[in-house]
Amino acid sequence: MRVFLRVWLLLFFSSFALLQQMSIQASAAEITSGPGITIVYPSAQDGFVTLVVEDESGRRIKNLVFDHPVHRGKNVIRWDGSALQGVVAAGHYRVRGLFHREIAPHLEYSIYSPGTPPWPTADGTGAWLADHTAPASALFLPQGSSWPTKSDQPEMLLGAEAAEAGHALMWVDLDGRKLAGTKIRGWNGGIALARDVGKKPNPQHIAYTVYVVNPSRDFGVKDPGALQIYAITKGGLTPVDKVIGGVQMHDAFRQLVGLAAYDGLLLLANPAANEIVAFDVRDGVRPAFARFHVDKLGAIAFEPDGRLLVSSGGAIVRCAVQNDWHSVSLVDESTVVAKDKLQAPKQVLEADGEIYVTDWGTSHQVKVFDAASGKMLRVIGDPGGPQLGAYDERRMAHPLGMAVDSRGVLWVAEEDYLPKRISRWDAKSGRFLNAWYGPTQYGGGGFVDPKDKTRAYYPSIGNPGSMGLLEFKVDPKTGDSRLAAVRYRYPDPLNDAISYAGYPTRPIFFPNDMIPVGSHGGITPAQTFYFKGHQYFTDSYNTYWYNQSHVTTLWMLQDGICRPIASAGWVGSGAHHWTTLDLPAIKEKIPAGNPDGVFFTWTDSNHDHAVQPDEVQFFRPEVPGSAGVVIQPDLSVISGGPYQLPAASVDAFGVPSYDLSQLRLLSKTPVSGEVALSPDGWFIAGMSGVKDGQLQWTLPERGISTPPEGPGDIEGPKRMLGYPVKSARGEAGYMVARYSYMGEIYVYTTDGLLVTTMGGDARTSQFWPYKEQRVGMPITGLSFDAEQFWPFMFALDDGGVYLSVGKWHSSIVRLDGLDSIQRIDLGSITVTPAEIAAAEPLRHQAADTFRPSGRGARTGFAKGQGDGLRIVACGPMGADQ
């Protein structure tokens, strides 16, 4: 019986195995003989594949699949016969691509991002202050803040004018740990802060803040702007009043504002109008009930006895306040601090019988005086103000708001962008304690020295008064960093003028910073390379947040400072037109006709870092070029067109020269967009590639109206993220990257193969979910967020590829997994008329299933197939309908 059973079972399982094998073979035959053009990819391991079809000359016919998951064994792809242009013709084609395992970024460190962690967190304690504006105000809250921190412990309140990402009002404990943050109207904070220092404050009010609302953009020609005051109460934010008077500017152009409160009397000092405005906040909030004029008005502060300190005419004056709640006046005026002891006084404060004044001019220090005698007691900080070169942490830059806490620590908000800084000092000895630097501008940014990963740079690009370059020294083991140098400030301090929208120029509020007309980027070194013993910097990939512009500049690091040595581009007439070219002795050299078609170069041949007419040359080629001008790491120049201009020579000082007759058109097929030229000969323009004079490949792209439907659905690619890079490991070859407005980063090879998409669409992916920061942590499963304007991609001499990512911060990540990339060559396939006709149902199915753009993801797997047999039904997924 047992023998019979064993024989029966053996026969049963043998028959079952045979039937199963026959079923698999039948299924495989059915799969390979089904509708569509069959392409088989045998994979030795699980991973991801990108495949394309090209004709015998290497011209792209079809993008089949992008970064698509495959499994060990046979992967069958059905092509519906669609092509970049309509339907494929019968003929011979080549199928190639690449395979890789998971590619993921891992955190190296963050710079210029002092939050813990640097990005926002659900509990409100992550990230740090404002992106668009510098720190402006500081206030000590001895009894804490029942809103929003719900704490009765001593706290500091820090403020800035405006934040789009980040917080314009921020509460921290006395060690600087962030407790909470907010924005008024989703945007504003405080350029001056005050609390009631009297004995009868409004018990519901914690503090008061003021900011510029609807700032004037035309220096008051048509719109004067206004000041908005809010009360920070135990229940939240309550508007007090909007004050119109004088011209209220934005960012670097803003005038000084003062705020003070005592026993329910709130006073606003508005120097733009030379008037003090009074409010009754004893039992609520009411509009202003009084205004009065003060000559050459500055800031104000109440003393503990109710007298008012007023900055007027460069001196600090003490006054008694007469107030009947219908009118207010200042009487019994006496000078406490003579004007010859100050240069340009800003905010004023009394603490422990001493008067503190933030002073600008050439000082940029906090000066401390005896409140009774006016005698100078000490000066906090070293003199000199904004820095260029090696950074000295004992020098402040535009110190403005300040407060002394219960530990005797002086907190100073330095209203400068290079760097943005909150510094702390021992109030009695003047000893520097520590500082917090940052955060970044809106959209992040940053890059690393290719020869030294411990040297990281932050280019401040997009805000008025903020153009420049910071260098940080990083401890790679801990991720900690310190500011080492200010490598660049724009412009030269002697050229201190600015204009918005064509209005006459006007000296700006900060004496050492400006931006060019109409620009939201550029004029800042933002990528670096070494050539023949010199370190160079360019702005070729950051002249605008969305795209490259018509002009680019080259700097060289000399004596610790980035010095401009060359510029190149199209003369043009738009926002990025270089106004230096309008100088009469230079403009007369420009060929007649449309300036958009004239190419120019400037090279600093006499090494004075200034432009002379004989250093500028112009040339009008027969075929006009376009925006997208890049100075290459070999000092040649490329441009949309596509054009290339080699460096004719490089002198002993490292300054290149050019012969414009050598400006060469690389292709008769016009191309435009973001440009790059790779050492392997590929010229990239937008999402297309040119080689040997021929347009060879194009990757599909579309708008951002809906989220992507799968890998390769490239939505709204913007600025290119730097020069082509190459990993020392893997077979990818040279790669470039672009970011999407909605939060993705696309990395693709210079021969047009998508390597990976990092991040997701902000509408469908979570935003930086990590509660803490750790060196080496993976940065995956998230969106980098919409409007992450300033990511960069760069390679280091260690063979790795890195990116800076983060909208609210600057985090340097290492792109791991590139070593797994293998090139795929599936050889030739022959497409017959019968196969094209047989695939027509698939084309109709794709047209009926997916949106009109035809760039949806279409991926299906056959069910019930064993032994790794897979079907990828490839219609227009990521492709070209």
The predicted structure's pLDDT at residue 6 = 40
- What is the three-class DSSP state of 858? coil
Q: What is the mean pLDDT of the chain?
A: 87
753-779, pLDDT tens digit by residue? 999 999 999 999 998 889 999 999 999
Sign of CA dihedral 49, 54, 56, 57: negative
271-321, pLDDT tens digit by residue? 999 999 999 999 999 999 999 999 999 999 999 999 999 999 999 999 999
Tokens (6 digits) for 522: 């550029």
d(C-alpha 41, C-alpha 826), whole Å: 7
Q: Is the pLDDT of residue 608 over 90?
A: no
Cis status, amide bond into 117, omega within 30 of 0: yes
The predicted structure's pLDDT at residue 572 = 86
Strands (E), 101-235: 104-111, 135-141, 155-160, 169-172, 178-182, 192-194, 205-213, 226-233
Residues 684-700, mean pLDDT to the nearest whole number: 94
Tokens (6 digits) for 99: 């395979």
In which band, very low, low, confident or very high, does the pLDDT at 253 lie, cut at 50, 70 and 90? low
Helix runs in 546-608, H state only: 584-587
d(C-alpha 203, C-alpha 264), whole Å: 10
Question: Which of 645, 649, 646, 689 is closest to 669 using CA atoms?
Answer: 689
CB of 793 within 8 A of CB of 801? yes
Residues with Cβ within 8 Å of residue 478, at least 6 apart in sequence: 775
Residues 362-374, mean pLDDT to the nearest whole number: 96
d(C-alpha 316, C-alpha 224), whole Å: 28
d(C-alpha 744, C-alpha 759), whole Å: 5
CB of 859 within 8 A of CB of 867? no
Q: How many CA atoms lie within 13 A of 817 on its CB side?
A: 18
- What is the three-class DSSP state of 29? helix
The predicted structure's pLDDT at residue 529 = 97
Pick the more confident residue, 405 or 255.
405
CB of 831 within 8 A of CB of 81? yes
The predicted structure's pLDDT at residue 159 = 97
The predicted structure's pLDDT at residue 464 = 53
The DSSP code for 853 is T
The DSSP code for 181 is E
Segment among 242-251, 266-275, 302-311 with least mean pLDDT: 242-251
Ramachandran angles phi, psi of 478, nearest 5°: -100, -20
d(C-alpha 285, C-alpha 601), whole Å: 60
Q: Is the pLDDT of residue 498 over 60?
A: no
Q: Is the pLDDT of residue 217 over 80?
A: no
Residues 138-160: b if buried by 16+ CB within 10 A, e if exposed: bbbbeebbebbbebeebbbbbbb
Ramachandran angles phi, psi of 90, nearest 5°: -60, 145
Give the C-alpha distances (Å, rounded to integers) separating 768 from 169, 454, 746, 756.
22, 25, 18, 19
d(C-alpha 579, C-alpha 516), whole Å: 9
- What is the three-class DSSP state of 18? helix
Segment among 345-349, 582-586, 695-699, 851-855 with least mean pLDDT: 851-855
Residues with Cβ within 8 Å of residue 834, at least 6 apart in sequence: none
Range with the largest mean pLDDT of 299-308, 577-586, 769-778, 839-848: 299-308
Q: Is the pLDDT of residue 511 over 70?
A: no
CB of 434 within 8 A of CB of 450? no
Tokens (6 digits) for 12: 């049963």
Cis status, amide bond into 707, omega within 30 of 0: no
Residues 191-198, mean pLDDT to the nearest whole number: 97
d(C-alpha 183, C-alpha 862), whole Å: 53
What is the arrangement of strands in the sheet containing 345-351, beginning at the earlier edge strand? 345-351, 354-359, 365-370, 376-380
Segment among 20-24, 322-326, 468-472, 758-762 with least mean pLDDT: 20-24
d(C-alpha 379, C-alpha 358), whole Å: 10
Residues 658-687, mean pLDDT to the nearest whole number: 93
Amino acid making up residue 169: L
CB of 105 within 8 A of CB of 816? yes
In which band, very low, low, confident or very high, does the pLDDT at 844 lie, cut at 50, 70 and 90? confident
Residues 322-339, mean pLDDT to the nearest whole number: 97
Q: Is the pLDDT of residue 510 over 50?
A: no
Cα dihedral 116/121/124/129 (nearest 10): 60
d(C-alpha 110, C-alpha 451), whole Å: 18
In which band, very low, low, confident or very high, does the pLDDT at 252 lie, cut at 50, 70 and 90? low
The predicted structure's pLDDT at residue 12 = 40
Give the C-alpha distances (Å, rounded to integers) separating 512 from 165, 223, 417.
26, 26, 11
Question: Which of 587, 639, 649, 646 is closest to 618 using CA atoms?
Answer: 587
Burial of 415: CB neighbours in 10 Å, binned 0-12, 13-18, 19+? buried
Residues with Cβ within 8 Å of residue 777, at least 6 apart in sequence: 106, 107, 770
Q: Give the distance from CA 82 to its chain's centroid.
A: 39
Residues 796-815, mean pLDDT to the nearest whole number: 95
Sign of CA dihedral 872, 878, 879, 880: positive
Range with the largest mean pLDDT of 78-87, 545-554, 857-866: 78-87
Strand partners, 696: none
Give the C-alpha distances (Å, rounded to integers) separating 623 from 369, 593, 597, 850.
68, 14, 8, 40
In which band, very low, low, confident or very high, does the pLDDT at 517 lie, cut at 50, 70 and 90? very low
Residues 664-668, mean pLDDT to the nearest whole number: 91
Residue with tokens 């672009």: 738
Amino acid making up residue 553: T
Segment among 326-340, 774-788, 850-864 with least mean pLDDT: 850-864
Amino acid making up residue 751: D
Question: Which of 479, 527, 482 is closest to 110 using CA atoms?
Answer: 479
Q: What is the CA radius of gyration of the chain?
A: 32
The predicted structure's pLDDT at residue 223 = 82
CB of 751 within 8 A of CB of 732? no
Residues 804-818, mean pLDDT to the nearest whole number: 95
Residues 331-339, mean pLDDT to the nearest whole number: 97
The predicted structure's pLDDT at residue 875 = 40
Helix runs in 582-629, H state only: 584-587
Residues 375-389, mean pLDDT to the nearest whole number: 94
Q: Are strands 421-426 and 409-414 parallel, antiparallel or unpaired?
A: antiparallel
- What is the three-class DSSP state of 561? strand
Strand partners, 422: 413, 436
Q: Is the pLDDT of residue 533 over 50?
A: yes
Residue with tokens 């300190």: 309
Q: Give the distance from CA 460 to its chain's centroid.
A: 9
pLDDT above 70: percentage of residues in the chain: 87
Give rounded-to-5 percent helix, strand, coil for the chain: 10, 45, 50
Structural element, H or E, at residue 11:
helix 2-32
Tokens (6 digits) for 212: 């510029």
The predicted structure's pLDDT at residue 463 = 57
Q: Are strands 551-558 and 534-538 parallel, antiparallel or unpaired?
A: antiparallel
The predicted structure's pLDDT at residue 509 = 34
pLDDT above 90: percentage of residues in the chain: 75
Cis status, amide bond into 148, omega within 30 of 0: yes
In which band, very low, low, confident or very high, does the pLDDT at 567 lie, cut at 50, 70 and 90? very high
Structural element, H or E, at residue 308:
strand 308-312
Structural element, H or E, at residue 849:
helix 840-849
Pick the more confident residue, 650 or 808.
650
Q: Is the pLDDT of residue 872 over 60?
A: no
Tokens (6 digits) for 86: 């309509």
Q: Is the pLDDT of residue 676 over 60?
A: yes
